[in-house]
Amino acid sequence: MKISLTEFVTLDGVSQGPGSPDEDTSDGFGRGGWLVPHIDEVFVRRASDWLDLADGLLLGRRTYEAFARDWPKITDPADPFTGRMNALPKYVVSNTLTEGTWHPTTVLNGDPVRTVAELKARPGRELQIHGSARLGEALLLAGLVDTLRLVVAPTVLRTGRRLMTDTGVSSGLRLLHHEATPNGLLLLEYETTGQAPVADYQGVTDFV
So where are the chain's domains? 2-17+30-195
| CB-based contacts of 186, cutoff 8 Å, min separation 6 | 150, 151, 152, 178, 179, 180
pLDDT at position 94, please? 94
Secondary-structure class of domain 2-17+30-195 per CATH: alpha beta
| Per-residue model confidence as pLDDT tens digits over 138-185 | 999 999 999 999 999 999 999 999 998 877 889 999 999 999 999 999
Mean pLDDT of the chain: 94
The band of 205, judged by pLDDT with boundaries at 50, 70 and 90, is confident
Distance CA 93, CA 56 (A): 13
| Per-residue model confidence as pLDDT tens digits over 76-99 | 888 999 999 999 999 999 999 989
Share of the chain above pLDDT 90, in %: 84
**The whole model's pTM is what?**
0.93
